[in-house]
Amino acid sequence: MRIVTFDIETTGNFSRGTWRPEDLELTICCVHDSVTGEYHSYLKEELPRLWQLLEDTDVLVGYNSDHFDIPILNKYYPGDLGRIRSLDLMKEVQNVIGRRIKLDSIAEGTLGKKKIADGRQAIRWWNEGNITKLREYCLKDVEITRKIYEHATEHGFLKYKELGAKKEVRLDTSGWLTVAPTSALTKTLGF
C-alpha cells in the first residue's frame, strides 16, 4: 500500500477567519512516499512532477488537508484530487472530540516535539525568497504528520496538549489501511 503524507504552504489573502482557494497561491508542496521512504518538495512550477506520484497512491494523509491542502492543490492538478482517497488526521480527531486541534498541539502531546514555525512565518520566508527555510519547515510538518499517523495506526490514540495538560483521543483506525477494490481506481489522469 502506497501512502503519501503531504503538506502545502501558501501565500495570498487570508482575511480574518475566511479564505477562498482562489485567493491563495500555493508556494510549495512537500511529500513523504511510503514506498521509497523518501521526502520530496515541489515548488509551484514543479508540481507536474508530483502528479504521477499522487495518481499511484492508495491514500493521501494530511492534517487539515480535506479542508485546506486538497482544495488549494486541486487548483493546479489537471484531474480531481477529490477522487483520490484521503485521510485528514485533523478531521479524525475532530470527529471524536467535536472540535479542531492544531497540529502543534497533537505533535507536542503525542511526539513530545513542536513544529519549527507556523504558517505566518512560512509566508514571510516566501516573501523574503528564503526557499531553503520554507522547504525545511514544510518537510518538517510532513515528517510530524507522518509520525502522528504512524502512532495512531500503531496505538489507536493520539495525545494533545491543552491548557498545560495532556489529553488522549482514541481513534478507530481499523479502516485507515484498507485498500479500495481495483475496480474503484482513484486515478483521474490515467498514468
% of the chain exceeding 90 in pLDDT: 77
Per-residue pLDDT band at 102 (split at 50, 70, 90): very high
H or E element, residue 104: helix 103-111
What is the pLDDT of the chain when averaged over all its residues?
90
* Domains located in the chain, CATH noted: 3-173 (3.30.420.10)
Supply the pLDDT for residue 69: 95
Nearest residue to 33 (alpha-carbon basis) of 75, 61, 70, 73: 61
Supply the pLDDT for residue 164: 82
Contacts of 66 (CB under 8 A, 6+ apart): 86, 88, 91
Instruction: Compute the distance between CA of residue 125 and CA of residue 134 in angstroms, rounded to an integer.
Output: 6
Query: In this structure, are residues 85 and 58 in contact, taking their beta carbons and an 8 Å threshold?
Result: yes
Whether 185 has a pLDDT exceeding 90, the answer reads no
Residue-wise pLDDT tens digits, 130-163: 999 999 999 999 999 999 999 999 999 999 988 8
% of the chain exceeding 70 in pLDDT: 89
Supply the pLDDT for residue 184: 39
Residue-wise pLDDT tens digits, 62-81: 999 999 999 999 999 998 99
Instruction: Compute the distance between CA of residue 62 and CA of residue 70 in angstroms, rounded to an integer.
Output: 9
Max CA pair span of the chain: 49
Please compute the mean of the pLDDT values over residues 181-190 and round it to a whole number. Answer: 49
Supply the pLDDT for residue 82: 87
Secondary structure tally for the chain: helices H, strands E: 6, 7
Cα 172 to Cα 3, 57, 145, 166: the distances in Å are 18, 22, 17, 20
Whether 15 has a pLDDT exceeding 80, the answer reads no
Between helix 103-111 and helix 89-97 the angle, nearest 10°, is 90
